[in-house]
Amino acid sequence: MTAPMGTGDFMILWLSSFGFILFCRVAPVVALRGRPLSPRVVDALGYIPPAAFAALVANDLLSPGMFSAGPWTGLMPLVAGGVVVLVAWRTKSMLWCCVAGVLAYVLLSLL
């Protein structure tokens, strides 16, 4: 049994994480502000959103042990993700995507 996190441990974890993420958030904005960017850099920056969101989705849906409890257990989140894509395509609504995703996940997990 792991000991509960004490205030000292929490402060170290919080302050180090906060300082690092603050640097990550602010440094590019300060460094790139007011500088003319080359077309190549602008193109590269434009690929960040699709690449990052694809990485986040894949990180949520794929894992080495995804099929360890059976093929359907691994496939089910992918099918639910497919339902969300269909809803995004038809409705273009963030809300309906969330509702459909959670409903599909719950219903498919009952199969």
Partner 1 sequence: MRDVLTVAWPVMLSYVAVGLPCGVLAAKAGMDPLMNFVLSLTFLTGGGQFMMSNLWLAGTPLPSIVASVAAISTRFALYSASLSPYLTRFRRRDALAISCCYTEEAYGITLGKLAGGGDWDARRALALNVTVQLTWALSCAAGAALGSIVDVPTAIAGFAMTSLFIYLLWSQPHTRGNACAVVGAVAAVVACKWSGVSGIAVPVAALVGVAAGMASQALPARKSGRSRA
What lies within 8 Å, CB to CB, of 108 at 6+ separation is 76, 79, 80
Q: Which of 38, 48, 68, 110 binds partner 1 (CB under 8 A)?
A: 48
- Which value, to the nearest 10 degrees, does the dihedral of the CA atoms of residues 11, 14, 19, 20 take? 130
63 binds partner 1 (CB under 8 A): yes
CA distances from 7 to 1, 2, 15, 19, 42 (A): 18, 15, 12, 18, 44
CB of 19 to partner 1, least distance (A): 10
CB of 102 to partner 1, least distance (A): 5
43 binds partner 1 (CB under 8 A): yes
CB of 83 to partner 1, least distance (A): 9
String of contacts with partner 1 for each residue 2-41, x by CB under 8 A: xxxxx--xx-xxx-xxx-xxx-xxxxxxx-xxx--x--x-
Q: Look at residue 36 and give its three-state secondary structure.
A: coil
CB of 70 to partner 1, least distance (A): 15
67 binds partner 1 (CB under 8 A): no
